[in-house]
Structure 1
Amino acid sequence: MNTPSTSSFGNMEEKLFDLLGKGFELDNQITSNPEKKKQLTHDYLNDINIVFASGFELPAMDPSWTWFNVEEPLTFDHFKYRIVILDFFTYCCINCMHILPDLEKLEGIFGTDQVLIIGVHSAKFENEKIDGNIQNAIKRYGIHHPVVNDRQAKWWNQLQISCWPTLMILSPALRPLKMFMGEGHLDKVRYFVEEAMHFFNMSDSSTPPKRLPPPSCLGQVVSSTFLKYPGKISLWKDKILISDSGHHRLVVINRSGLVEQVIGSGVKGFQDGHLTSAQFSSPQGGIFIKNHLIIVADTENHSLRQIDLASKTVTTLAGNGQQGRDLSGGKNGPGQLLASPWDLCLGSSPKALETGELDTLFVAMAGTHQIWGLSLEDSSWWKGVSRKQGDIFAVAGSGVEENRNTSYPNKAGFAQPSGITFSSKLQSLYVADSESSSIRSLCLKTGTVKNVCGGSRDPTDLFAFGDKDGSSVDVRLQHPLGLVMNQSQDTLFVADSYNHKVKAVTHVTGKKAECQTIADISGLDEPAGMAFDPDTQELLIADTNHHTLKVYNVNTKVIRDITVHTSDETDFTTSVPVLKLRGNYDFKLQKDILFRTTEATIAIKITTILDSALKLNQDAPSHWKLVLPEGWHCASGLKGSFQADPLPVDLIVSPQSRPGPIYVEVNAYLCHKSDGLCLSKSALIELNAEQCDNPAMHTKSLALAIHL
């Protein structure tokens, strides 16, 4: 990695550290007095503007950088006359994931005319430097603002960035104003940007910023399968439960791949209710508790949800959709806030180890770098601690991100644990500790946390990664996400995600655990989850970026694909309510549709459903507008008005060219029936059209509902 010379940047390092120091000083001085707060902020802006007024130039952009979400690379001309927020991130980082909703809110508040958010991807892992992997992450996380791949971390080094995530705010003259390190700064960032806009008189600027290039189609990532970025998988008798994370839903299939149940509307959100209308947000670990009960880690909703297949309902067990920062827990129900639960497994509390009762659901809590537990029955723990049924609490991990092994579970350190499995025979949990690139064990009898393989001897070193088989800490993994135990042979299977491999770990209880790559399993792309069937000796693998499942027979060494499909008479498309949208829209709906180039006519029926207290304003006709990808056309035109109540808008769309997003904008002018007071509401529907030449997967019609 290159660092700037003093001749090029002078005392730049000193100035940037001064910026950081003055920024902390400002945060400490801010008072509850609004006028005093504003004066302090403007004094700070004046001082910082003087510091960087001369001798500073933003480091040059590398012409080899790849840009995402824009059809052509941005230049400094796009930055000028805007407040620019640079988000230095790496896509593996849970803290970076946590601030994505904040950035989305800022986009909605400020738009792009005066404030521009740029993701500067500065990779931690070698795998994260690859354009295609970043592209998949952008689509998986739903990032809409421009992102640039700074492969060699040039800006990271030249601008003295030291942690992920870091937000650097630039003035309209491209000078640093402030840095925010870590997560949880939404209100501070919003306030600072608003005051910076006032300070620089941006509303009175006579020079408009350069128009941004149009958004791209996210690199044309096309999936012709039923699944989209599947995460964790689990087995129950003849059923396979899949976290269809990219579609924000769960899918239950049989062993031949036939879909038996889809759980969730497919719309990103947080809503309990019927299986078809409930909403999830990038769910990961899921597990059957009984024949009809499933618990799922609803990761981006920071919650645990229960699915009852008998009553066809979804309820919330813990969490309320908002990220928590509690490191102890102990509450019962949705009042206990969580932080990015990533994986689940059934296991035993220390007392229950004696009987073998599976009385605890263990949670890999990636967001706080801990292992938590949900008591399914009253349970007893170390040092005589008792837990009531329904309690959810921290089991191990201090919350500090590290790979610290110790005999004291609350002082152990994990680093974004993302996979977890239980061995009743060995009375231990095993953890895929992704950010330390290691496999760890937690003895449930004693509470001792040990290293199994990978990672570093230095508990603060989270950069001991690579691709090397061998013994114990000589092993090198790269961001493992999943693991599962073959209990009959005490063998762990590891989804070594960023090495795109599956590895087997033997002698897991000894001082020299052996890790070897399974050579027969190849061609994977960031596998994230696995399940093992002891009866058939089959290992199921979620081949995440290929949107499919694979099955490997441990005895015969044969690997095959599972094609997830529906029967001809099964229809999982349902009308669903839309979500709250940032910015100028009251509602937003996102769904995927699949089309064939040889038979490419799609009927889209949109129904507006009015609140019973409202009616359409006949004096101000409501209207809709359609925006299509290049080469598409609509038989009924691209816009129209409506005055009926309610109104179905039927669009017949035929694509002739490339995939892309279809946008349907609905603007409704409404009046209250009781007092005649009028209001307007707007909705935006985004349909991500992807090419699919599999006849079984082709969507010929789609019914959507907008609740106004």
Structure 2
Amino acid sequence: MSLRPLAPPFTKNTIWVNLAQGPEWERLRGRVLLLHFWNASNIHCQHMLAELKYLESKYHDGVTVFGVHVPKFDAERVAAVVQKAINRLYIRHAVINDADWILWRQYGVQSWPTTVVVDSEGKIAGAYAGEGRRDELDQLIGELLEEAAARDLRAFDASPSISRPEPRSALRFPGKLLVTESGLFVADSGNNRVLECTHDGRVIRQIGSGTPGHFDGKLSESGFNEPQGMALVKDMLYIADRGNHCIRRVRMITGEIETICGTGAHGRPLNQEHASLQEVALNSPWDVAIANEKLLIAMAGQNQIWNLDLARNRLVPFAGSGAFGRDDGEGSMVTFARPTGIAYSNQTVYVVDLESSSVRAIRDGRTTTLVGAGPYEFGDVDGLPAAVRLQAPMGCAVDPNGQILWVVDTYNNKLKALSLRGGGAKTINLPYKFTLPGDVKATPGKIWVANTGAHEVVRIDTATGQAQRLPIGE
């Protein structure tokens, strides 16, 4: 134990997001501390949070978790943006805003996520980079708590649950949208359900109980976990059940819901054809689109686009090697960086790549970049394609005229129009405030925006520019 280095303490200059004042470092002695260095836009951090929740529950009387949020994007330096992420991800432990990377450097962290373990005497017992470290952390925590108890150092009081909730509203962080000729489907992601509505926002029926879980059944008897992208094929609604890492299908006539692809657990499917669809574990499927009776899946956790052949019941890779990046090319030679939005039109697949702040196009097996310069090149710049800079966009939609791709520029809180004829991109100035918009859809004369951070759906009349908040669930 004596060889362990002392952990750098919290100080009066440490900035807390969801606490008015953080705990004194010395008063934490006797407990095992987990310092989770994370980032709101990093999918691997989101996966690691599920592992930490398990450990928090198991060791509630001996472990305290502290989140240390370290920004990648400029927007993530703002405490209000971090607080939105805390609430969206159901984080109930104290979080530090390490906007200037001070603790990151003091602890020698090199990547997201990294979990640093501090023993009962305030010394660093280990550091674990990446996701999938639950078992290793579990073993070390157990050993450290036994060690502390044997030396009569262990504190047994439970850590408090910390919460600064969002304002009460009918929707909670709505994610993706689907608009048909007569209906509007809203992935009410924070409430773990999908709402079928009229175009005016009147709720027709609820899909999913609202309780997080993975269980099939009829409509509100089923369980989802952060549902996202949706696609409708005849009377079948397909849903990317992000938190359950699977694809669900709703029979719209009977209301029956079934899991057609995925095990319900997080995995990393091999780059090959899969025939046993319910035995392959998916990796954060975030959005879906129909292309020639095939369901294209933006697999955000694996930096790939996959193809689910609905006729043959086969899952195959469509584009991307699985590596993180923004490389163009053919088929599996391509790299993506957390694709979270996908649209299909005129034999072309459009992909919004969140972590590279770019928009990609896939046609005839070849991927090209329409706008965006790479994973660490971002901003808020309109103009010709080479000059355009976005900041963590999350969704896109092809306008019915086929000449414009609408893009929600999430961290810039803007709606942008990208010319599909090479004319570049421009911001659509509207008399309406967007807060972390997560998706956009387009129908003749209308644009629909999931204003995720404001817990609402907005409908825009393209002729007048008038934006109207829909009273969904009110």
Counterpart pick for 2:401 among 477, 488, 491: 488
Deviation at 1:338, TM superposition (A): 0.7
Among 399, 415, 424, the residue aligned to 2:337:
415
Change (3 A) 1:329 1:97: farther
Shift of 1:376: 2.1
Cα gap change, 1:483/1:78 in structure 2, threshold over 3 Å: closer, same or farther? Answer: farther
Runs of 5+ consecutive residues of structure 1 not aligned to the other structure? 1-45, 348-357, 378-388, 457-461, 566-696, 698-708
> Which piece of structure 1 moves more, 185-194 or 496-505?
185-194
- After superposition, residues 362-377 of structure 1 pair within 5 angstroms as 362-377=296-311
Cα deviation digits, residues 425-450 of structure 1 (max 9, x gap)? xx21111100000111111x2x1111
Counterpart of 2:215?
A: 271
- What's 2:383 paired with? 470
Partner of 1:620 in structure 2? none
**CA contact 1:501–1:522 (8 Å) conserved in 2:** no
2:434 maps to which of 524, 536, 546: 524
Distance 1:306 1:325, change over 3 A: same
Q: Is 1:223 the counterpart of 2:168 in the alignment?
A: yes
Shift of 1:50: 1.4
Q: CA deviation at 1:253?
A: 0.4
SS in structure 1 of the partner of residue 82 of structure 2? helix
Aligned CA distance change for structure 1 residues 254 and 403 (closer, same or farther; 3 Å): same
Distance 1:400 1:468 in 2: 27
Once the two structures are superposed, residues 38-73 of structure 1 have per-residue CA deviations (whole angstroms, 9 ceiling, x without a partner) of: xxxxxxxx5xx4152xxx4515435351242x5641
- Which residue does the alignment assign to 2:108? 160
Residues 240 and 549 of structure 1, relative CA distance in 2, 3 Å threshold: same
d(CA) in 2 for partners of 1:67, 1:209: 26
For the residue of structure 2 that corresponds to 1:410, the secondary structure is helix
TM-score, with structure 1 as normaliser: 0.65
CA RMSD of the aligned region, Å?
1.8
8 Å contact kept, 1:59–1:155? no
In the aligned structure 1, how far is the partner of 2:88 from the partner of 2:328? Answer: 33
2:140 pairs with one of 173, 192, 195: 192
Classify 1:390/1:521 alpha carbon distance in 2 versus 1 (closer, same or farther; 3 Å): farther
- Counterpart code for 1:50: L
Which of 247, 261, 270 aligns to 1:304? It is 247
Structure 1 counterpart of 2:161, one-letter code: P
On the 8 A contact 2:400/2:443 being kept in 1, the answer is no
**Compared with structure 1, are the counterparts of its residues 521 and 327 closer, same or farther at alpha carbon in structure 2 (3 Å cutoff)?**
farther
Residue among 174, 178, 202 paired with 2:148: 202
Q: Pick which of 207-216 and 128-137 moved more.
A: 207-216
Give the letter for the 2:436 counterpart.
E
Does residue 540 (structure 1) correspond to residue 448 (structure 2)? The answer is: yes
Listed one character per residue, the Cα deviations across residues 72-105 of structure 1 (whole Å, up to 9, x for unaligned) are: 4122124322221111001111000011111011
> 1:229-276: CA deviations, max 9, x gaps?
100001122100110001000000001111001001100000001111
**Closer/same/farther in 2, CA of residues 145 and 329 from structure 1, 3 Å limit:** farther
Matched, 1:454 2:454: no
Shift of 1:515: 0.8
Distance 2:29 2:362 in 1: 53
Tell me the number of residue pairs that the alignment of Structure 1 and Structure 2 aligns. 473
Secondary structure in 2 aligned to 1:123? coil
Contact 1:72 1:213 in 2 (8 A): no
Change (3 A) 1:151 1:261: same
CA pair 526-334 structure 1, distance change in 2 beyond 3 A: same
SS of the residue 1:470 aligns to: coil
Are 2:437 and 2:449, in contact at CA under 8 Å, matched by a contact in 1? yes
Q: CA deviation at 1:288?
A: 1.4
User: Which residue does the alignment assign to 1:549?
Assistant: 457
Q: Which amino acid aligns with 1:545?
A: G
Letter in 2 for 1:102: E
**CA distance 1:521–1:314, change in 2 (3 Å):** farther
| 1:129 and 2:103 aligned | no
Q: Does the 8 Å contact 2:16/2:94 carry over to 1? A: no
CA contact (8 A) 1:500 1:524 kept: yes
Structure 2 counterpart SS, 1:343: strand
In 2, distance between residues paired with 1:376 and 1:156?
46
Among 432, 436, 441, the alignment partner of 2:356 is 436
Determine the structure 2 residue equivalent to 1:607.
none
- Shift of the 315–164 alpha-carbon distance from structure 1 to 2, 3 Å rule, reads same
Rate the CA distance shift 1:402–1:78 in 2: closer, same or farther, 3 A: farther
Contact 2:63 2:159 in 1 (8 A): no
Is 1:285 matched with 2:235? no
Give 1:221-260 correspondences, 5 Å limit. Answer: 221-224=166-169, 226-260=170-204
Amino acid aligned to 1:163: S
Deviations 1:363-395 (A, max 9, x none): 110010000111123xxxxxxxxxxx1111210
Q: Distance in 1 between matches of 2:433 and 2:15?
A: 27
Alignment-derived partner of residue 672 in structure 1? none
Q: What amino acid does structure 1 have at the position aligned with 2:438?
A: A
**Do the aligned partners of 1:271 and 1:279 also contact (CA within 8 Å) in 2?**
yes
Query: For residues 261-311 of structure 1, what are the alpha-carbon distances to aligned partners after superposition, in whole Å with 9 as ceiling and x for unaligned?
Result: 100110000000111110000000012111x32000000100000011212
Distance 1:59 1:429, change over 3 A: same
Which structure would you say has the larger Rg? 1
Say if 2:360 and 2:368, in contact at 8 Å, map to a contact too. Answer: yes
Contact 1:129 1:149 in 2 (8 A): yes
1:58 and 2:8 correspond = yes
**Is 2:273 the counterpart of 1:325?**
no
State yes or no: 1:81 paired with 2:30.
Answer: yes
Distance 1:204 1:196, change over 3 A: closer
Distance 1:554 1:394 in 2: 37
Is the CA contact (8 Å cut-off) linking 1:78 and 1:211 kept in structure 2?
no
* % identical aligned pairs: 29
- Residues 689-704 of structure 1 mapped to structure 2, 5 A cutoff: 697=474
Q: Given that residues 232 and 542 in structure 1 are in contact (C-alpha distance below 8 angstroms), is that contact kept between their aligned partners in structure 2?
A: yes
Cα shift at 1:211: 5.7
Distance in 2 between residues matched to 1:121 and 1:286, nearest whole Å: 31
Q: What is the distance in 1 between the residues matched to 2:224 and 2:21?
A: 34
> Where in structure 2 are the equivalents of 1:391-406 lying within 5 Å?
391-406=314-329
Alignment deviations for residues 441-489 of structure 1 (CA, whole Å, 9 cap, x no partner) = 111x2x1111100223xxxxx1101111122232111100000001424
Q: Equivalent residue of 2:464, what SS?
A: coil
> Match of 1:132, as an amino acid?
A
8 Å CA contact 1:117, 1:145 repeated in 2: yes
Preserved CA contact (<8 Å) 2:345 2:402: no
Shift of 1:409: 1.3
Separation in 1, partners of 2:278, 2:20 = 43
Deviation of 1:214 (Å)? 4.1
Structure 2 SS opposite 1:223: coil
Q: Distance in 2 between matches of 1:240 and 1:345?
A: 16
The one-letter amino acid paired with 2:404 is T
Q: Which residue of the partner structure matches residue 257 of structure 2?
A: 314
Aligned residues of 2:120 and 2:153 also touching (Cα < 8 A): no
SS in 1 for 2:355: helix
